[in-house]
Chain A
Amino acid sequence: MQGASSSGGEKKRAEGQLSISSVGVRLHFDIALVLITIIPLLVFIFLVMGGYVTFKPGRGVYEPVAVLLIALVGLGYALLMRYPITMMKLRRYVEDMAAGVFPESVHLEQEETDLRSIEAGMNRILERLKAKVDAMAMEQAKLEKQLCKAQKLESIGALASGIAHEINTPIQFVGDNTRFLSDACAGLLKLLEIQRRLNAVAPSEYGSVLAEIQKVESEIDLPFLEAEIPTAISQSLDGLSHVAEISRALKDFARVVSDDEMKATDLNRAIQSSVTLTRNEWKYVAELTCDLDPALPLVPCFAGDIKQVLINLIVNAAHAVGEVVGDGSRGKGQIAIRARCEAGAAVVSIRDSGPGIPEAVRNRIFEPFFTTKKGGKGSGQGLAIASSLIVGRHGGQLSFDTELGKGTEFTIRLPIRSGAPVCCDAGGGVR
C-alpha cells in the first residue's frame, strides 16, 4: 500500500478549478446573451423579409421603408432588451459571488448613472474583499511559518532530555577517568622519583631503595594501573569524540533555524546529524543503519527544514519500532536510512520494522493534529509539517509505503536542480 502527501498540490489544483469554473460561467453567460438578443432579431428580420417576398409591393417605396422599419424595430428591441439583459448580468454576478466565485471586476457596460454606481460599488466591494483575502493569506502564511518553527522547537525540545543523557554519560566516565589518571599519574611520578634515586645512591643502599620501590608499587597497585591507564585514556577519547559529535550536530541544527533562502546542502551530513541527535530515541529499541550514497550531489534546500523532517521521521520510526519490541529486552527492531540519487531527484528513505500503518488511518496521517501516539508522545504535527515543508516549500514529494506487521518506509524526494519538478511516476514502490 502506498500513499503520498499532496497538501500543496491539492491546493493548486483547487485554485485551477476556481479559474476554470469562472471562465465557464462567463462563456455560458455570453452565449445566453447572444441567444437572447440575436435570435428574436433574426426572427423579426426573417418575418419582414418574408413579407417583402410574399407580397411584392410596388417598387421604390417599400424597400427603404422596410429597411427603416427593420432598423427602427431593431433599435427599439435593443433599447427594450438592454435593461433586462443588464439585470440578468447583475443577477449572474450576484449569484456567482454568493456561490463563492469572484470575478476580477464587474462590467455592466451601461451609461446610466444608477447602473454605473452599482457597478462601481460592486467593484469597490470586490477590491475590499480581495484585500481582506490577501491579508488573511498572509496571516495564514505567517501562522504556518510560526507553527513550523514551534514544531521545530517542539521536536528539539522533546529530544533535549535524551541529548542531555547522551552528553552526561560520557562526561561522567571521562570525569571519572581523568580523576583516576590524575591519581595514577601522581603515584607513578612518586615511583619515578624514588627510582631516580638509584642513580644517586651508593650501590650498598640499592637494597633499601628497591624495598621502598616495591612498597610504593604495591601501594599504588601498579599492575592495576598498567592495565587500566591505556583503556582509561582510549575510552575517554571515545567519550570526548562522542560529545563533540553531538555538539556539532546541535550546532548544525541551530545554525539553520532561520534560513530564508535555499542553500546547496549535503544531505548525507544532514542525515548523520539527525541520527546523532535522535540516538537516545532509537538506541534502546532499534539498530539503525545508514546506507548513504557518497556521490549524492549537494541539494538546494532549506537545510533546517530537511533536518526537522528527518528528525520527525526518525523519531516516528523509533516510536513505531518501540510499539513492536517494547522496552527492547527481547531483541531490537530495525531502522534503515538510505540516501541515493534517482532520476534527477535526491531520494532519502527511512524504513522501520514497526507495526505498519493501519488501513483506516493511511489517508489521514498527513492531516494536522492527527496522531495515534498515546500520552503526549506526539502533537500530531510532525507529518503534517513534514509534508508541508517537503511538498510546499521544496516542490518535492513525501510518500510512504507500508505493510501491516512488516513496517513502513517513508520516502522524501527532492529535486536536485532547484525549481525542476520531481518526476511524478516515481512515487513509492521502492519495496
Chain B
Amino acid sequence: MSLSARHRVLFVDDDPSVLAGARRVMHDLRQQWEFLSAASGQEALSLLEQAPCDLIITDMQMPGMDGVELLSQVLSRFPSTVRFALSGYADRAILLKSVGLSHQFLAKPCPAESLKRAISHTLQFKKYLPGTHEQAMVSATETLPVLPDTFRAFQKALRVSRADVEGVATVVASDVCLAAKVLHLASWASLDFRESARNIRQAVGVLGTELLHSVLFSAHAFRAMDADTASLFPVSNWNQHATAVAALSVQIAREGGASAEGVQEAGTAGLLHDIGRRILMGGYPATYAGICAASCADETSITQTESEVLGVTHAELGAALMVLWGVPSHVADAVAFHHEPERCPGEDSIVLRAVCEAERLVAEEGDAGEGCTRAEVCVPAGGVS
C-alpha cells in the first residue's frame, strides 16, 4: 500500500504514557497506518480540522472535554470518521453513554493485538463503499428504527421476563434492526473479532438481559420507527422474509457440511442480508420509497435502481454498517454479495452460498421479500409522490 493510502488513526488520551505506548505498538504497522495522537479533546478536534482521520480512539475520562463530548462532536462534524472508545472505567454509566456514539467500546487494558484487530476489521467497511459520502452515511448511522410492535414486545420481554434469555432472543431475532444492534453491542463485550457472537442467542447471552434492559431504558440504542415511515414500507414482510432466509440458510449450511460456527454465521447473515434497506428507509424514507416504487414499475431489480439513483446498493451499505458494528467478516461479505456472489473476493464462503441459495428458494416459494412488494409499496409510495 502506498504511503498516501495509509489510514490515519488518531489516538486521544490525557496520559502521555498511554499515547507513547500506543505509538510504539502501532509502529510495526506504519506502512498501513499513520499514527496521530492528541492529549485532549480540543487538540483532537483541531487535528481533525487540519486533515480528516479515518478512525479516532479516545479515552473517556479526560479533563476538559471528555470522551463522550469529543465523540459526539466528531459524529456531527466529521461523520465519516470511525469512532472507538477506550475506557479504563469499570463503570457502566460510561458504557451506556457511549452507546450510539462509538462504533467500538474497548476496555483498558486492551491488548495491542485486540486493538489492532479491531482497527483493521472496522476499517474494512470502506471496501464496500464507493466514496466518502457513503462512508459518512454509514458511519453516522447510530441506530436503526425498529418496528413499533416488535419494539414494544422487546420492552415487555425485558421488563417482564428478564430471566428468559431464550424468549428475549426470539423477540430480538424477529426484527432485523434489533438483531443487528444487539450483535453490535455484543461485539463490545467480546473484544476479539474472532470470538464475536455469531448468532442472536449468543449475543443476548453475552450481553445479559440486565445490561440490555439498562441499554434500552437509559441509552438510546434502540428506537421505534415513526408511524409515517412504517406506513411507506412493508417492514413486517421484510422481517418475515429475513427470518425465512435465516432459517433456510442455517439448514443449507448444515447440509453443506459447514462447521458449527459456519452454520451460526449463515443464520446471522441470512437474517441481516437486507439490513441495508432499513438504513435507506431510516435515512431517506421518501427517496427510498420512490426507488422501491420505480423498481416495481420498471420491473428492474432493486439493486439496479439503487445503483442508478444512489450510486450504492442496499447490500453494500448493509455490509459496511455490519462491519462497523463488529459483525464477523464472513457475515458482512455474505450481506454485501448476496445478489452477486461471483463478485465476492477471496475464498469461496459457505456462508455466502447458503444465503444466496436460501434467498433463491424463498423467492421461488413466492415470497416477495426481496423484489417487488408491489401491493404494499406502490400504493403508499404513489400516495406520497
Contacts and interface: CB of A to CB of B under 8 A. Distances in A.
Contacts, number: 89
A228 interface: yes
Interface in A150-188: 160-162, 164-166, 168-177, 179-180, 183
Contacts of B21: 172-177, 180, 232, 235
Interface stretch (B105-113, B152-160, B192-200): B105-113
A224 interface: yes
A228 B27 CA distance: 11
B90 A327 contact: no
Interface string B89-112: 111000000000000000111111
B108 A180 contact: no
A329 interface: yes
A176 B112 contact: yes
B362 interface: no
A88 B20 CA distance: 90
A238 interface: yes
Contacts of B88: 164-166, 168-169, 172
Contacts of B89: 161-162, 164-165, 168
B108 A168 contact: yes
Given A175-B111, A179-B112, A169 B24 contact: no
B61 interface: yes
Contacts of A172: 18, 21, 86, 88, 108-110
A164 B89 CA distance: 6
A232 B24 contact: yes
Query: Chain B interface: which size bin?
Result: 20 to 34
B234 to A, nearest CB: 45
B33 to A, nearest CB: 14
Given A161-B89, A232-B24, A173 B17 contact: yes
A180 B24 contact: yes
B66 interface: yes
B98 to A, nearest CB: 15
Interface in A6-29: none
Contacts of A224: 27
Nearest to A164: B90
Contacts of B91: 161
Given A168-B88, A173-B20, A180 B25 contact: yes
B65 interface: yes
A231 interface: yes
Query: Top 3 nearest A-B pairs by Cβ distance?
Result: A176-B21, A173-B21, A329-B64
Interface of A: 160-162, 164-166, 168-177, 179-180, 183, 221, 224, 228, 231-232, 235, 238-239, 284, 327-329
Given A169-B18, A228-B20, A228-B27, 5 more contacts: A170-B17, A173-B15, A177-B24, A180-B27, A329-B65
